Structure 1
Amino acid sequence: MFPRNTWYVACTPDEIDEKPLGRQICGEHIVFYRADDGQVAALEDFCPHRGARLSLGSVCEGKLVCGYHGLTMGCDGKTISMPGQRVGGFPKIRSFPVVERYGFIWVWTGDAALADPAAIHHLEWADNPEWAYGGGLYHVDCDYRLMVDNLMDLTHETYVHSTSIGQKEIDETPVSTKTEGEQVVTRRTMENVMAPPFWRANLRGNHLPDDQPVDRWQVCRFTPPGHIMIEVGVALAGKGGIDAPADQKVYSIVVDFLTPETETSMWYFWGMARNFNVKDKALTAQIRDGQAKVFAEDTAVLEAQQRNLSLHPTRKLLLLNIDAGGVQSRKLLDKMLAAEQAAAPVAQAA
């Protein structure tokens, strides 16, 4: 149901600063920790001695120590030592390719020989002093593809987010959908409208009036398996929309990394990158808090949707033109899965 030969966001650096972190990704139980050189390591979360969770242990001088009998693991999956015991002959447990980049920890759950760090999704705003970022993490009990559908069709904002980013003009404005190479892109532009509450606050945050008509844009870019960057913002009406001068608009990128946990649960790394008033930490916190409330509303809807779909697995769902973004995105996912499945017998034969 989910591609494996690809990079997923596994966690953020602060989650593993002092202790190991256990996290299930694509059905794999993995423990993340920092080795003695400060680099991140990722191992199967399974002690080769008695099968305990290594993530319940500790990190001592950069070594992962099982919390059951003190067995010490190397970052390559080889057992190093155990008090009073000879363990050098223990077989290796699985290690996973892992990379720390752009403020995230990325893991590869498929064939390690195919893991190329150069394939990690490029984030042009990360590590750039002209941009600020704030975000968070939600665990969501739904198939990650339901979140893809949600983010690639923002029509729901009018109803799910009526008190923050929703407005009737979203319903009234058509959306275009295109597949551009290995991306699906949806676009919607609303001209000469009043900004909803979330965007009025951002206008004030950039020292712009919040009581004047604006031009608003939403450009959603899906890159499989689960990376969605959404260019969003408002500009004072008639100033050029998304291309307006910086002092006439508020422009941001909504950051969405969807990491499958199981077939019906996922890790949702969300945030917003902006290129205005980047040193204003209070504004960053304000935007993050506002965004957290918006995404919490999505979470409630999606988890209820998943429960309903699980109760009625054979029911056929209806498709409308507004669903084109999700439909095209799923086609790219199916293409990735088909390619992996086609290559699997060859790899096994080798």
Structure 2
Amino acid sequence: MFPKNAWYVACTPDEIAEKPLGRKICNESIVFYRGHEGRVAAVEDFCPHRGAPLSLGFVQDGKLVCGYHGLVMECDGKTASMPNQRVQGFPSIRSFPVEERYGFIWVWPGDPAKADPALIHHLEWAENPEWAYGGGLYHIACDYRLMVDNLMDLTHETYVHASSIGQKEIDEAPVNTRVDGEKVITSRFMDGVMAPPFWRAALRGNGLADDVPVDRWQICRFTPPSHVLIEVGVAHAGKGGYEASPEHKASSIVVDFITPETDTSIWYFWGMARNFKPEDQELTETIRVGQGKIFAEDLEMLEQQQRNLLAYPERNLLKLNIDAGGVQSRRIIDRIIAAESESDSTLIARSAS
């Protein structure tokens, strides 16, 4: 259903600032917490004593203490101690590779031996002081691939987001889709249009007139396992569009990290990074709130879509030219899953021989 030998965003640092966090990732129940010297750790959310969730416990001296009977767990999944008990024979629980980077905590739910931190793709906007970022988290009851479809085809903006970023010109502009290795890029450019409400506000936020024609762009980039970064923006018409100088445009990167919880639910880490007026915290919060409302408009549609697909599994869905980005992204996901499955089968065969 989803690749496991991959880095997924598990949570943000603030979520484990006060206590452990239990979260299911790719059908794995995991507890995240800060262990020795404040380093992030992740182990199965399962106490080897009586099966209680370790996430209901607390951290003491860099170790995770079960909130049921006081069993103390090391970051590597081995039991360190338990009141009045000898723990040498206690079974270990699974630990997971984790990395804290770019303002997120990443987890590798697959084979730990393959967990190379260098595979976390570089996020320039997260390290460059010329950029500002604001975002949030939604839990959505849908297959993660439905969200990938949604983000790789922005035609729905005209209808789902009519009051914020939608406009009829989105329907009318041709879509270009290309595959670059394991990445999929879809792009749409609209010249000489009037900016919709969200982008009028962004123009004003950058000190630009909002009542003149603009050139608008949307460039969606899918990277496996399920990350979509979208370059979006508007520039005063005739100033170069996507290539316009900063003083003539308002542009951003829509950040979408889609982490499967189960086969039919996701943790959706959303946000927007911008490279104009990064020091303006009030503008960052205004954009974050506005963006959050836009993303919330997708929730009901995706969850109802998921219910329909579960109710009618025999139905074949149409694949149109506007769906090419999602279709190509799914093909890449399928290839990765198939390769993982083949690798697992080979290991099993070798073990049996």
- Residue of structure 2 in register with 1:113 after alignment: 113
Amino acid at match of 1:168: K
- Residue of structure 1 in register with 2:217 after alignment: 217
Separation in 2, partners of 1:164, 1:61: 49
Match runs of 1:246-285 below 5 Å: 246-285=246-285
- Residue of structure 2 in register with 1:160 after alignment: 160
Alpha-carbon displacement from aligned partner over 1:6-40 (angstroms, at most 9, x marks no partner): 10000000000120000000000000000021100
Alpha-carbon displacement from aligned partner over 1:282-303 (angstroms, at most 9, x marks no partner): 1000000001111001111100
Moved over 4 A (4+): none
Q: After alignment, is 330-339 or 85-94 more displaced?
A: 85-94
User: What runs of 5+ residues in structure 1 fail to find an aligned partner?
Assistant: none
Alpha-carbon displacement from aligned partner over 1:36-63 (angstroms, at most 9, x marks no partner): 2110000001000000000011111221
Amino acid at match of 1:295: F
Alignment coverage as a number of residue pairs: 350
Separation in 1, partners of 2:176, 2:186: 5
* Superposition CA RMSD, Å: 0.7
- Residue of structure 1 in register with 2:295 after alignment: 295
- Residue of structure 1 in register with 2:325 after alignment: 325
Name the SS of the counterpart of 1:133 in structure 2.
strand
Contact 1:63 1:72 in 2 (8 A): yes
Match runs of 1:119-158 below 5 Å: 119-158=119-158
TM-score, normalising length: structure 2? 0.98
- Residue of structure 2 in register with 1:232 after alignment: 232
Amino acid at match of 2:113: A
Separation in 2, partners of 1:69, 1:202: 54
Name the SS of the counterpart of 1:125 in structure 2.
helix
Separation in 2, partners of 1:135, 1:71: 36
Contact 1:63 1:74 in 2 (8 A): yes
TM-score, normalising length: structure 1? 0.99
Separation in 2, partners of 1:323, 1:139: 24
Q: CA deviation at 1:160?
A: 0.2
Separation in 2, partners of 1:181, 1:214: 33
Separation in 2, partners of 1:18, 1:120: 26
- Percent of aligned pairs with the same amino acid: 72
- Residue of structure 2 in register with 1:71 after alignment: 71
Q: After alignment, is 259-268 or 59-68 more displaced?
A: 59-68
- Residue of structure 1 in register with 2:58 after alignment: 58
Separation in 1, partners of 2:98, 2:330: 26
Name the SS of the counterpart of 2:325 in structure 1.
helix
Separation in 1, partners of 2:247, 2:16: 39
Separation in 2, partners of 1:265, 1:208: 40
Q: CA deviation at 1:346?
A: 2.5
User: What runs of 5+ residues in structure 2 fail to find an aligned partner?
Assistant: none
Separation in 2, partners of 1:174, 1:246: 26
- Residue of structure 2 in register with 1:201 after alignment: 201
Q: CA deviation at 1:122?
A: 1.3
Amino acid at match of 2:342: A
Contact 1:18 1:59 in 2 (8 A): no
Q: CA deviation at 1:113?
A: 0.5
Alpha-carbon displacement from aligned partner over 1:154-192 (angstroms, at most 9, x marks no partner): 000000000000000000101100001110000000000
Separation in 2, partners of 1:32, 1:253: 28
Separation in 2, partners of 1:332, 1:124: 24
Contact 1:193 1:216 in 2 (8 A): yes
Alpha-carbon displacement from aligned partner over 1:197-237 (angstroms, at most 9, x marks no partner): 00000000000000000000000000011110000000000
Separation in 2, partners of 1:249, 1:318: 37
Name the SS of the counterpart of 2:38 in structure 1.
coil
Name the SS of the counterpart of 1:126 in structure 2.
helix
Separation in 2, partners of 1:347, 1:294: 45
